[in-house]
């Protein structure tokens, strides 16, 4: 007797998208929003910052060449009529992160990827 196992198509797509291993010295950052986001990227424990822009629904791998340095992201939010806000997070090698606009706090934020994939055509 044979048993057939059926997987929902969405589960298969999700599994194929997230099943590959990230290189240990890289991080993957996804922009989950419909507008580009600019942020600072530091590879030397926040001593210097490189300005970076990630297009809407895009994803990009980043890698630091400084062996002893830690990678950080700094996001600024400047909305008309509101006070300046920022977010900063240390990124761990081999992990995936999402940049998103936090509606409750009215600011850009970054956090571990929740397992959803952007619909953009950019590749990892």
Show the tokens assigned to 5.
């196992």
**pTM of the entire structure?**
0.72
**pLDDT tens track for 17-71:** 444 566 678 999 999 999 999 999 999 999 999 999 999 999 999 998 877 778 9
Give the bridge partners for 101, in sequence order: 108
State the pLDDT at residue 24: 76
What integer best gives the mean pLDDT of the chain? 80
> What pLDDT does 115 receive?
57
Exposure string for 39-53, b = 16+ CB within 10 A, e = fewer: bbbbbeeeeeeeeee
> What are the DSSP calls for 1-25, one per residue?
--------HHHHHHHHHH-SPPPTT
Determine the pLDDT at residue 53: 96
Per-residue model confidence as pLDDT tens digits over 82-122 = 999 999 999 999 999 999 999 999 999 999 998 544 433 33
Sorted by sequence, the CB contacts under 8 Å of residue 49 that are 6+ apart come out as: 40, 41, 42, 74
| CATH code that applies to domain 24-112 | 2.60.40.2890
Euclidean distance between CA atoms 15 and 9, whole angstroms: 10
> Which positions ≥6 away from 32 have C-beta within 8 Å?
57, 98, 99, 100, 116, 118
């Amino acid at each position: 007797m044979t048993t057939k196992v059926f997987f929902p198509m969405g589960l298969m797509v999700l599994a194929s998208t997230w099943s590959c291993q990230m290189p240990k010295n890289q991080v993957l950052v996804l922009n989950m929003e419909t507008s580009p986001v600019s942020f600072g990227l530091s590879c030397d424990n926040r001593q210097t910052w490189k300005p970076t822009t990630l297009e809407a629904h895009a994803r990009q791998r980043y890698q630091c060449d400084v062996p002893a340095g830690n990678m950080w992201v700094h996001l600024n939010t400047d909305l008309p009529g509101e006070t300046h806000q920022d977010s900063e997070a240390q990124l761990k090698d081999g992990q995936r992160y999402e940049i998103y606009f936090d509606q409750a706090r009215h600011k850009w934020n970054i956090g571990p990827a929740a397992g959803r994939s952007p619909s953009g055509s950019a590749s990892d």
